[in-house]
C-alpha cells in the first residue's frame, strides 16, 4: 500500500486504525457512562 501523502509532501501523519467492533463498544460505553443515547452522543460529537 502506498502512502500518497508521503510521495507528495515527503511526510506522513501517523494514524491508528481501530477495529469497528472495538469502536462500537467504546461509543456505547461512553454513551452509557453519560446516561445518554448513542444518537445524543453523536449530536454532541458534531
pLDDT tens for the chain, 46 residues long, are 455 555 666 666 677 788 999 999 999 999 999 999 999 999 999 9
Q: What is the pLDDT of residue 3?
A: 54
| C-alpha neighbours within 13 Å on the C-beta side of residue 27 | 16
- Number of neighbours of residue 5 by Cβ within 10 angstroms: 11
Let me know: does 28 contact 40? Beta carbons within 8 Å: no
CA distances from 5 to 8, 11, 13, 18 (A): 5, 7, 9, 21
Q: What is the pLDDT of residue 7?
A: 62
Let me know: does 37 contact 31? Beta carbons within 8 Å: yes
Q: What is the pLDDT of residue 18?
A: 85
Q: What is the pLDDT of residue 10?
A: 63
Q: What is the pLDDT of residue 8?
A: 65
**What pTM does this model have?**
0.61
CA distance linking residue 32 with residue 34, whole number of Å = 5
Amino acid at each position: 500500500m502506498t502512502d500518497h501523502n508521503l510521495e507528495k509532501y515527503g511526510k506522513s501523519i501517523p494514524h491508528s486504525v481501530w477495529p469497528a467492533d472495538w469502536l462500537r463498544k467504546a461509543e456505547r460505553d461512553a454513551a452509557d457512562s453519560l446516561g445518554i443515547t448513542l444518537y445524543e452522543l453523536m449530536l454532541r460529537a458534531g
